[in-house]
Structure 1
Amino acid sequence: MTTTAPVKPSFLRAAFGGLPRPFWALWGGTLVNRLGTMALPFTGVFLTQARGLSVAAAGVVMAVYGAGSLLSQLLAGVLADRIGRRATLAGGMVATAAALLALGYSTTLPAILASMLVLGLVVDAYRPASNALVADLVPPQSRPRAFGLLFWAVNLGYSIGMTAGGWLAQQGFLLLFWIDAVSCLVFAALVWRAVPETRPQGGTEAGGFGVVLRDRLMLAFTLVILGDALVYSQTFTMLPVAMVELAGLTTGQFGTAMALNGVLIVVVQPLVSGWLGRRDAPRTLAAGMAVMGVGFALTSFVTSTAMLAVTIAVWTTGEIITAGIAGTILTRLAPAHLRGRYAGLFGFAWSAAGLLAPLLGSVLLAAGGQPALWFTVGGIGLAAAAGMLAIGPAIRRR
């Protein structure tokens, strides 16, 4: 009697199969939303060119946006646990669409400031709800892959949206705001129609953020994530400045090198996501953080586009390793009825890093040039990796 060897699953099945249909609605909405993210990356240009604000005034407006984003994650985390994941995500997207259009049509400084504050409050309100939905919908063994696929969708959509936005901005900034707003409404509609409410019954029980803030392991994990976020946030804050102003590269050369980041993520991340998800999560996350730290430390030696591309390849490798793992650990730490609040604190670390990274970077560049900046950033990455290893045993016990 002959036996037939079992057929190995194809790459597509291994990378994309076995996940529930509502997850794919969430994934599709995320992709559409990122494809349409065209207005925010060009907000600074819009404020100075289309509205005639000075660079200093534009900086104040962006700071107001940052202040709103700090509160956004915490408030959205509470809402995700109280009124539900689906309602918070869809409502946040509708509010974001309205705030984008309000900003696009604002012509006075008070109106612009008010629109940017509201936009900061709502633009990322979907994140805690999205994290909680993945934890609620996807079985534990598939969560690293699910979070990795969302990371992949964000990068794929954002890279295409940025490219298209740069061209469409020449036709007029208002078009960007409309495209961005419509993509938010599509995301909201997809989630509302195709994703069930998953908030556990009893999600409004007493405890709230007091429980989260008394969770010393979660606080330690948040501190580690803050370190990692401070490292990664340099990619869109001080890295462009340092490469163009100090390393002597042109904006075109910098953009060409940075394109490697998106290409590597889109091509490599789906190939390794499943394999990485089967590894020990704390050690894997620590390894990725360490690789990112080394990659940014190497930036001190960049004098050409080729050398910059090498460093980008190194820290992008670390970024790929960490993709999906942090979210997986977060779901291990959070009780089901508090997943929104835990995700809110997690997101707060990223919002805080977005504000702190340029402040830290500018001070270090002024004090000691590129070596001071990039060796410090690399050291923060390695410290975050060490911290992750230190709390790893407690995470495994949890």
Structure 2
Amino acid sequence: MTSGEFKLRDLGFSVYGPSLLYSVGTGAILPVIALSARGLGATVATATLAITLIGIGSLLTNVPASVLTARFGERAAMIGAAAWATCGMGLALAAPVLALPALAVPPLGVFAAGILMIGMAGAVFNLARQSYLAEAVPVRFRARAMSTLGGVSRIGTFIGPFVSAAAMVWLGLPGAYWTGMAAMAAAAVVSLRIPDLAGGGRPAAGNGAVRPTIRSIAVSRARILATLGLGVLLISAVRATRQAVIPLWSEQLGLDAPTASVIYGLSGAVDMLVFYPAGKLMDRKGRVAVAVPAMVVMGAALALLPLTAQAWTLLAVAMLLGFGNGIGSGIVMTLGADFSPRQGRPQFLGLWRLLSDAGVMGGPVVLAAMTGAVSLASGIWTVAALSFAGAAIFGYFIPRTPRSG
């Protein structure tokens, strides 16, 4: 399909549908992971750590995910990942029954294994769908496609908790996992409808050609990974801490939980509303036109956050933070697609996502370290500084002209 014939809606439900369903499944269980761990005997600290298992599973699986995607193809990888996530949720749900006391495997250990499996599946699914879009969409539509993918994922994660809440009215806490399993299984089924890439996607290596490896791609793209990759790490760190600072500062101001939830929800609503215009701007004006403003706006909002003293000022800053994050929707995936070679694209994207996940894991650590050493305000201002540093990196290293593929 040529760029002149291409329309984003041609991807339709067959491509974006699995992503929506997968995100609904993830969103369904996120609010109850800690509660489930507590119900299996975990301490408060251990229950908090249980949530990080999704991120750990993703971080550990990014590089293997690239190998799997390169070998079996994007569609098969997405189907397999959704099925693996379904199994992970089933394992977490059945933890009390599947515990193995004779092998010193308590219910909490089985539960942790299930959550880790969900994180592993996420690495494969997310890499495969990004690689697929990078191949299927013409370059001049790429940012819109990636931003829409990011927006669809946000919408699914937003919807998931409400669907699981309805299920939990009838089924209790297990209802969240049944909801997640149903959504993941549906994602696997819908992924069967993903159209094959023309010509098999990326060109096949010739008879005498050396197939790309993680090592060879890391060496050939070392400069990109060390420069723009650092920017990706920073934007991921800022985004990860963004989710924590609003509730934490709300508590600092003495706001009640419903008020804090409303503020957080309105910030997320602004985030979801601007993803498509941001992608269109990236396609027309270049990646810098969105990447730099997104980081500057988030940095400014974070710098202002500790200066708020009432609910309405916190709401205004939270919505600004949501706007900054929203206009950057898809930027990490778009840049990854821009700089990935056609031969070795999954391998490059595996390394790219490894940097992104490192930021997701590292950002809250920086916030926690500065908060413990000095104060919450100091921690938030440190993250703001990281955001401004990311803006400088993107502004300097992103080319002003779009790449050809």
The two structures share one fold, judged by TM-score above 0.5: yes
User: How far 1:63 moved relative to its partner?
Assistant: 4.6
Q: Distance in 2 between matches of 1:362 and 1:41?
A: 21
Distance between the aligned counterparts of 1:270 and 1:201, measured in 2?
30
State yes or no: 1:343 paired with 2:349: yes
Match for 1:233 among 227, 233, 240?
240
Aligned-pair CA distance for 1:383 = 0.2
Cα distance in 2 for residues equivalent to 1:70 and 1:138: 27
Whether contact under 8 Å (1:286, 1:388) holds in the other structure is yes
Structure 1 residue 369, shift from structure 2 partner: 1.5
CA contact (8 A) 1:217 1:394 kept: no
Quote the Cα distance in structure 2 between the aligned partners of 1:147 and 1:389: 20
1:393 matches 2:403: no
CA shift digits 1:148-181 (9 cap, x unpaired)? 1112211222212223334544541212111111
Matched residue, 2:214: 209
Q: Is the 2:18–2:188 Cα contact (8 Å) retained in structure 1?
A: yes
Distance 1:358 1:326, change over 3 A: closer
Residue range with higher mean Cα deviation, 187-196 or 224-233: 187-196
> 2:165 touches 2:176 (CA, 8 Å); kept in 1?
no
Question: Equivalent pairs: percent with the same residue?
Answer: 21
SS in 1 for 2:28: coil
For 2:52 and 2:151, locate their aligned partners in 1 and report how far apart those are by CA, in whole Å: 29
Q: Which amino acid aligns with 1:155?
A: R
In structure 1, how many angstroms separate the alpha carbons of the residues matched to 2:226 and 2:168? 42
Q: How does 1:129-140 map to 2 (within 5 A)?
A: 129-140=128-139
Do residues 182 (structure 1) and 173 (structure 2) align? no
Q: Following the alignment from structure 1 to structure 2, what is the Cα–Cα distance between the partners of residues 347 and 95?
A: 19
Q: Distance in 2 between matches of 1:19 and 1:243?
A: 40
CA shift digits 1:161-218 (9 cap, x unpaired) = 2233345445412121111111112111112223315442426952311133221113
Map of 1:193 onto structure 2: 193
Deviation larger for 203-212 or 230-239: 203-212
1:86 aligns with 2:93: no
Partner secondary structure for residue 144 of structure 2: helix
Alpha-carbon spacing, 1:193–1:393, altered in 2? closer, same or farther (3 Å)? closer
* Superposition pairs of residues 144-293 of structure 1, within 5 angstroms: 144-171=143-170, 172-197=172-197, 198-202=200-204, 205-214=210-219, 215=221, 216-244=223-251, 246-293=252-299
Asked if the contact 1:128–1:341 (Cα under 8 Å) also holds between the matched residues in 2, the reply is no
Partner Cα separation in structure 1 for residue 121 and residue 159 of structure 2: 23
Task: Tell me the matched-pair count.
Answer: 380
- Is the 8 Å Cα contact of residues 74 and 344 (structure 1) preserved in structure 2? yes
Counterpart of 1:40 in structure 2 is 30
For 1:5, the equivalent position in structure 2 comes to none
Q: Does the C-alpha gap of structure 1 residues 88 and 347 become closer, same or farther in structure 2, counting only changes over 3 Å?
A: same
Aligned to 2:3: none
| Distance in 2 (alpha carbons) for counterparts of 1:219 and 1:23 | 35
CA distance in 2, matches of 1:323, 1:386: 18
Unaligned stretches of 5+ residues in structure 1: 1-16
1:7 matched to which residue of 2? none
Q: In the aligned structure 2, how far is the partner of 1:266 from the partner of 1:397?
A: 27
- 2:113 is matched with 114
Q: CA deviation at 1:283?
A: 3.9
Runs of 5+ unmatched residues, structure 2: 1-5, 97-106
Q: What TM-score do you get using the length of structure 2 for normalisation?
A: 0.86
Measure how far apart 1:139 and its partner are: 0.7
Which range moved further: 235-244 or 76-85? 235-244
User: Which residue in the other structure is 2:331 paired with?
Assistant: 325
The 3-state SS of whatever aligns with 1:308 is: helix
